[in-house]
Amino acid sequence: MDKKVLNKMLRPKSVAVVGASATPGKIGYSVISNLLKDGYKGKIYPINPKESEILGVKCYAELKDVPGEIDSAVMCVPAKAMVEMTEECGKKGVKGLIVITSGFSEIGRKDLEDEIVNIAKRYGMRILGPNIVGSLSNSDKFNGSFCPSLPLPGKASLVSQSGALLIALAMATWTRKVGFDKLISIGNMADVDFADLIEWFNDDEDTSCVSLYIEGLKNGRRFIDAAKNSKKPIIALKSGVSAHGAAAAASHTGSLAGAAKVYGSAFKQACVIQASDLDNLFDRTLGLSSQPPMKGDNLLVLTNGGGVGVLATDAAERYGIPLKFAPEDVQAEMKKHMPEFGSAKNPVDMTGMAGNEWYYETVKYAISNKWTDGLVILYCETSITNPHEIAESIKRAIDDSGVKNKPVTVSFVGGDRSNEAIAWLNEHGIPAFFAPDVAVNVIAALREYAILQEQKNNIHVKPNEKAMKKSMEIIEAARKDGRTALTEIEAKAIFEAYGMPTTKIALAKTEEEAIAAAKKIGYPIVMKIVSPDILHKSDAGGVKVNIKDEAAAREAFNTIMKNAKAYKADANIHGIAVQEMAPWGTEVILGSINDPTFGPTLMFGLGGIFVEVLKDVTFRVSPVSSVEAMDMINEIKGAKILAGARGEAPRDRKALANAIVNYSSMILDLKDEIAESDANPFLVYAEGEGLKVADARIILKKK
Amino acid sequence: MDKKVLNKMLRPKSVAVVGASATPGKIGYSVISNLLKDGYKGKIYPINPKESEILGVKCYAELKDVPGEIDSAVMCVPAKAMVEMTEECGKKGVKGLIVITSGFSEIGRKDLEDEIVNIAKRYGMRILGPNIVGSLSNSDKFNGSFCPSLPLPGKASLVSQSGALLIALAMATWTRKVGFDKLISIGNMADVDFADLIEWFNDDEDTSCVSLYIEGLKNGRRFIDAAKNSKKPIIALKSGVSAHGAAAAASHTGSLAGAAKVYGSAFKQACVIQASDLDNLFDRTLGLSSQPPMKGDNLLVLTNGGGVGVLATDAAERYGIPLKFAPEDVQAEMKKHMPEFGSAKNPVDMTGMAGNEWYYETVKYAISNKWTDGLVILYCETSITNPHEIAESIKRAIDDSGVKNKPVTVSFVGGDRSNEAIAWLNEHGIPAFFAPDVAVNVIAALREYAILQEQKNNIHVKPNEKAMKKSMEIIEAARKDGRTALTEIEAKAIFEAYGMPTTKIALAKTEEEAIAAAKKIGYPIVMKIVSPDILHKSDAGGVKVNIKDEAAAREAFNTIMKNAKAYKADANIHGIAVQEMAPWGTEVILGSINDPTFGPTLMFGLGGIFVEVLKDVTFRVSPVSSVEAMDMINEIKGAKILAGARGEAPRDRKALANAIVNYSSMILDLKDEIAESDANPFLVYAEGEGLKVADARIILKKK
């Protein structure tokens, strides 16, 4: 139902231009002019009470005067007229509004934006924008925008949060020969957001790959869900990743930019491929829109020049798909089409003597053999070969091989003739570039896409009802107390409820209670003051460790109490925590934030210098699958420590992955309650020996 | 003198083509044809006993028949004829040989290569190659190669170790509109190497920037010296930086590729800017050949679009020149040429309303004001502006400002009209690109160049005669012993001689000697077995620490001796080392290798997990200045540890820098003796408290 509405909005059979103008230079004129110029075949209804016709098209004074149905309305009226006009659109039965008009949340008028969204909702209309350039579709010859022309036709579609960039990129598609079917300016995202469009593109036959220019998402979780379920590859250029840039992005679109690291993790979880800059967005879009994912790690590089071969080899390592030597039989076959001094290893160097036939035979064999998962073909222009003929040989070899499930990218280093061959290859669906580095970067994106699809977390985590109930009791009790910081004992009880082992701990109000608790827990023990008024327990002389027997425990209890009172006479003392003294283990940290964009988000890292000096941490948006948990464990720089570096036995990574999954459930279940939390240090023991939370902290959301 | 020879070789007034051919397709034909086609004005002497003329040029049977002088000879004869022909060239008084001929060290015939080099030396001739494409010079219209055409004229010059790549790049200069004056194929570097050409370019008025494509250097130290003294910026694309790639490069050119990290450090010391790939080589060459270095960190970004502004901001952080807000007065001035909703911060966003005049006024002010050190100008194509006019406004503003000592780079995002404007700007000396990211990358290279020039190490280290003498005595004694591994005591004595404090240590052969040594050193002490037959001392029960008094020392001596004999009955035991037990300090490692390309090279890193797990180490080719030593200390990931992380006092970095300088002198003085060495752990204490080598190792070169 909703998709049909978007369909009518973005691929309309009839369009009204509300605020159409007969004055060249006005946006309301440009839209009419663009619709006509670019050959839109649907019905066009300019709305303007002062004109009878614009550019030869009959003009209507009001929407209700339009005789037929209106699928989509491009709004070019001033912001102050938008409330009335939205109401009129609703009454007329318009399906979707493409709101070019600016002057809403981007200048602080969120109220006005909400008002038109509410009106639209009442009538079942959807709103694109406001504050946009418009929407363009090549397959409908629909240029419902003030962008001067439709893009070069192609199989990718682009959604851009920056209007200015969308216009510039539309023009660049022609120069750079990267085609697009739809260009959609998404602006303030008052209603339709990235997730809506990603879902809509699933059924759009003319789109094979979705490119996004993102400044900031509003609902990160919906984005992840939509992207994860996308049938088409998605590639995103996220701007505002630097501290200074994030500030600029925030002022630019009024949306809150999340931390770059959280975005990076979220994109990974959403199976979204990232682009590093505009060039890379074009390059990777070209690859993802025309080539299949690369299903394994075996990349074969063919070349006629050693130099470009080495550059491609370096790039393969840089982009995470290092080359391996092909098996002997594959090498033997390829030896047939090269001189004695060629190399059948990887890169396969056919030497400068390689002509059309060697390229044809080698490419055909290279893509057909079982070992190869993907192919990068390099050509260094020589005076004895014709780049166009080499390009044709490559295309013919791929076609004749009949192989359609392995990706190929190409680099032709040379002058005008090579450039022409690159354009020809691109037109024929084989992504080709100047630099070998770029050809490798693009096939790396196709490999990454396959890996992300394999690792995709499709878990639907059920709330842990029992743990939630217990946690909520603790949380509510603390809230009744007027606290948002839970005590260590409370936090540990919640961690325990979610299946994370913690060091045993008990609150003792009296010396006798302490002795009883110590007996239960077993010596040696640790004792710590518990008081909301004493945060720095050690400074106050409020901590004693390695207490070995009852006599020492009695002495410690009294000393800590005395110290605490000396430190702060009027401190509210809950008692003394009697705690198991955990044996030494590798210190890790699990923590959580409630990210403004993505909600409950987990952090993992090694303790000590790794987190404090090296900031060696990784994030995932909750829920996290056990595969993702293991991925987190393996992707930190200090991963080797857990694998058992420096003669240590490997740590219990299975138990750690399990704890990560449980932690993720906890922060998801309690997302309306927990603002921040951490288990630090979380001690991880040798394989099979599990792990234990030694200290815990939970901060509640303010309510 | 030597430069004059190179001048005659590379910019000849007369050239012989030895092995000239009348058969199209032959290299000896292509060279004659290229010289004629590209308009060479000097004298051409084809040498071929079988022809009377080639392409209308009189042919000579032998070199001695040529009537006039010959500056340069392009050699196209087969390898087997090269010895005789080189001799003939020498007799004729030819100055330089451009040896296209292949079949030398690249196929294992180093002997043949040496032979022709020796003949050339006898006659005072220089040799370029062999195994090259040739040499090209636009300003001389000299195409002494089989590359089909001269490059697009420009101010940069390129030296390439790959011939195939040189040909492809020559053609690409026309397509990509990056001009070059000279293209020199350097091949096997039997004689003329990168260093020779860098020195020669110093006096070449037509070259403002030198670009290098390097697969492997032969004499790294000479390269560093030449590059450091270059008057012109040098940019290098080093291929074979990956493990797999290094193997490919080695097989490709027969030169030994050094480790990527050592190359990276050596380039830094040589003030050489690195390019990451072919695109980047062109882009950075364009910048370095036309713009001055950026003398400070204040980069200002001007834009008409928020989106591209944010992308540039991200890139600035990525490339190490993060944006800062401009001062209030600068902002106030720029506020004059933008609408209310523009932003005068950094990026300066003039908004999509910015036309020619705003660009002119803002650029002129931005480059003139004192705060700005460099300027990136962005333009996002709009339908209301003309890219060419914007480009002209930018050029006029820079010219009218009269400012010539601040770099400017430009990005125009858009279609054909923007592309044309980019080409126009490049023709007029202002480097312009499509992606904002690239404009920032290029200005970052100009900033890096300025920093490297400032930090340049111009030290000329005198040998430490006294330390050398002492060290040589120890080394010679060990060699007499038939050893290449020095004992800890010997190594520490050398370290001490070079001013690096070590823990006190003495060799005791008897219990009484041990007690006497302990008394001298002072308790507590450490005792260790000293035996060339017991490498794993701890495993053999050969180490005792924290020995507090004489009784314990006696017991330890006897226990260690007993353990050692039990471990290996026939072990040659030198005695027991009695050693000061150093107080705890931050563990660092200083070490050295004798790099095959760069010679004595220093390594520095933090000990423990930093070196073992994170491989957090950095290199410098010796000698190292104190500025460079401090740079090493600050560039490792764990730098914060030494600055005093986690509540610790800052470590004595001044003493550490001093130790690095001394270490660097030691390995340089003893470069013919020391193969490898390390001080590990080297304990660094709090500021003012110095440092101490706790364990030392020196391995001698085999002789």
Which amino acid is located at A490 in the chain? Answer: E
pLDDT of residue A221: 93
Question: In this structure, what are the phi and psi dihedrals at residue A97, rounded to the nearest 5 degrees?
Answer: -115, 125
Closest-CA residue of chain B to A237: B311
pLDDT average, residue stretch B147-153: 95
CA quadruple A117, A119, A125, A129: dihedral sign: negative
Lowest mean per-residue pLDDT among A258-262, A392-396, B88-92, B216-220 = A258-262
Whether residue A416 and residue B175 make contact (CB cut-off 8 A), yes or no, is yes
- Contact map slice: B 401-420 vs A, CB within 8 A: 413-419
Kind and range of the H or E run holding B590? strand B586-595
Q: What radius of gyration do chain A's Cα atoms show? A: 31
How far is Cα A604 from Cα A618, in angstroms, rounded to an integer? 5
- Contact map slice: B 530-549 vs A, CB within 8 A: none
pLDDT average, residue stretch A254-271: 73
Question: In this structure, what are the phi and psi dihedrals at residue A110, rounded to the nearest 5 degrees?
Answer: -60, -35
The two tokens of residue A536 are 């720095």
DSSP-assigned letters across all residues of A525-556: EEEEEE-TT-S-TTTTT-EEEEE-SHHHHHHH
Please report the ipTM that was assigned to this predicted complex.
Answer: 0.90
- Does residue B81 carry a pLDDT above 90? yes
How far is Cα B522 from Cα B516, in angstroms, rounded to an integer? 10
- Does residue A371 carry a pLDDT above 60? yes
pLDDT of residue B83: 97
CB proximity A298 to B under 8 Å: no
- Does residue A254 carry a pLDDT above 70? no
Residue A169: strand, helix, or coil = helix
pLDDT average, residue stretch B668-691: 93
pLDDT of residue B254: 31
- Does residue B660 carry a pLDDT above 60? yes
pLDDT of residue A251: 37
Whether residue B305 and residue A347 make contact (CB cut-off 8 A), yes or no, is no
* pLDDT band with cut points at 50, 70 and 90 for residue A648: confident
Q: Judge residue A572's burial from the number of C-beta atoms within 10 Å of its C-beta, 0-12 exposed, 13-18 middle, 19 or more buried.
A: exposed
Distance from CA of B1 to the nearest CA of A (A): 34
pLDDT tens, position by position, B107-143: 899 999 999 999 999 999 999 999 999 999 999 999 9
**Better pLDDT: B643 or A406:** A406
pLDDT average, residue stretch B393-406: 98
Whether residue A278 and residue B437 make contact (CB cut-off 8 A), yes or no, is yes
Identify the CA nearest to A499 among candidates A620, A663, A633: A663
* pLDDT band with cut points at 50, 70 and 90 for residue B604: very high
pLDDT of residue B521: 92
pLDDT of residue A249: 46
A230: left (phi over 0), alpha (psi -120 to 50) or beta: beta
pLDDT of residue B614: 77
pLDDT average, residue stretch A204-230: 95
- Does residue A626 carry a pLDDT above 60? yes
* pLDDT band with cut points at 50, 70 and 90 for residue B613: confident
Chain A neighbors of B441, CB-CB under 8 A: none
DSSP-assigned letters across all residues of A339-369: -TT-B-SSSEE--TT--HHHHHHHHHHHHHS
pLDDT of residue A255: 31
Please confirm whether the linkage preceding B532 is cis (ω < 30° from 0).
Answer: no
How much of chain B exceeds pLDDT 90, in percent?
80
HEC letters along B517-549: HHHHHCCCEEEEEECCCCCCCCCCCCEEEEECC
Do A286 and A432 meet the contact criterion of CB atoms below 8 Å apart? Answer: no
A90-121 burial, b if ≥16 CB within 10 A, otherwise e?
bebebbbbbbbbbbbbbeeeeebbeebbebbe
Beta-bridge partners for B485: B699
Instruction: Give chain A's end-to-end CA distance (angstroms, integer).
Output: 37
Lowest mean per-residue pLDDT among A108-112, A213-217, A458-462 = A458-462
How far is Cα A425 from Cα A379, in angstroms, rounded to an integer? 13
* pLDDT band with cut points at 50, 70 and 90 for residue A257: very low
* Highest mean predicted confidence (pLDDT) among A547-551, A636-640, B611-615: A547-551
- Does residue A103 carry a pLDDT above 50? yes
DSSP-derived secondary structure letter, B434 = S
pLDDT of residue A293: 97
CB proximity B251 to A under 8 Å: yes
* pLDDT band with cut points at 50, 70 and 90 for residue B261: confident
**Better pLDDT: A58 or B338:** A58
Q: What radius of gyration do chain B's Cα atoms show? A: 31
CB proximity A343 to B under 8 Å: yes
- Contact map slice: B 263-282 vs A, CB within 8 A: 276-279
Please confirm whether the linkage preceding A463 is cis (ω < 30° from 0).
Answer: no
pLDDT average, residue stretch B157-185: 95
Total residue length of chain B: 703
Q: Which of A26, A162, A171, A640 to mutate to test the interface with B (most CBs of B within 10 A)?
A: A171
Whether residue B307 and residue A240 make contact (CB cut-off 8 A), yes or no, is no
How far is Cα B22 from Cα B28, in angstroms, rounded to an integer? 8
Chain B neighbors of A244, CB-CB under 8 A: 313, 316-317, 322-324, 346
* pLDDT band with cut points at 50, 70 and 90 for residue A584: confident
Kind and range of the H or E run holding A508? strand A505-508
- Does residue A1 carry a pLDDT above 60? no
How far is Cα B467 from Cα B665, in angstroms, rounded to an integer? 10
Residue A49: strand, helix, or coil = coil
Identify the CA nearest to A554 among candidates A596, A523, A595: A523
How much of chain B exceeds pLDDT 70, in percent?
97
How far is Cα A233 from Cα A198, in angstroms, rounded to an integer? 10
Chain A neighbors of B413, CB-CB under 8 A: 165, 168-169, 172, 278
- Does residue B260 carry a pLDDT above 80? no
Whether residue A164 and residue B419 make contact (CB cut-off 8 A), yes or no, is no
Residue A581: strand, helix, or coil = coil
- Does residue A240 carry a pLDDT above 60? yes
Chain A neighbors of B168, CB-CB under 8 A: 305, 308, 380-382, 413-415, 418
Q: Judge residue B671's burial from the number of C-beta atoms within 10 Å of its C-beta, 0-12 exposed, 13-18 middle, 19 or more buried.
A: middle
Which amino acid is located at B328 in the chain? Answer: E
How much of chain A exceeds pLDDT 70, in percent?
97
CA dist B574 → B450, B521, B531, B571 (Å)? 55, 20, 6, 9
The two tokens of residue A295 are 């299903």
pLDDT of residue A243: 62
Give every CB contact of residue B170 below 8 A, 6+ residues apart in sequence.
Answer: A415, B136, B147, B148, B149, B150, B151, B180, B183
The mean pLDDT of chain B is 92
CB proximity A423 to B under 8 Å: no
Closest-CA residue of chain A to B30: A383
**Confidence (pTM):** 0.92
pLDDT tens, position by position, A403-428: 999 999 999 999 999 999 999 999 99
Identify the CA nearest to A51 among candidates A18, A81, A15, A94: A18
How far is Cα B674 from Cα B672, in angstroms, rounded to an integer? 6
Question: In this structure, what are the phi and psi dihedrals at residue B84, rounded to the nearest 5 degrees?
Answer: -60, -45
- Does residue B89 carry a pLDDT above 90? yes
* pLDDT band with cut points at 50, 70 and 90 for residue A649: confident
Closest-CA residue of chain B to A340: B107
Do B447 and B321 meet the contact criterion of CB atoms below 8 Å apart? Answer: yes
Distance from CA of A146 to the nearest CA of B (A): 9
Residue A127: strand, helix, or coil = strand
Closest-CA residue of chain B to A611: B646
pLDDT average, residue stretch A484-494: 92
CA quadruple B493, B494, B497, B498: dihedral sign: negative
Do A689 and A675 meet the contact criterion of CB atoms below 8 Å apart? Answer: no
The mean pLDDT of chain A is 92
Q: Give the E-state strand segments of B381-508 in sequence order.
A: 408-413, 432-433, 505-508
Chain A neighbors of B539, CB-CB under 8 A: none
DSSP-derived secondary structure letter, A205 = T
Total residue length of chain A: 703
Instruction: Give chain B's end-to-end CA distance (angstroms, integer).
Output: 37
Whether residue A437 and residue B638 make contact (CB cut-off 8 A), yes or no, is no
By 3-state DSSP, what share of chain B in percent is helix, strand and coil, each rounded to 5? Answer: 40, 20, 35
Please confirm whether the linkage preceding A681 is cis (ω < 30° from 0).
Answer: yes
Which amino acid is located at B3 in the chain? Answer: K
CB proximity B304 to A under 8 Å: yes
pLDDT tens, position by position, A148-164: 999 999 999 999 999 99
pLDDT average, residue stretch A473-477: 96
CA dist B653 → A316, B209, B403, B458, B459 (Å)? 38, 37, 41, 22, 21
Identify the CA nearest to A540 among candidates A557, A565, A558, A505: A565
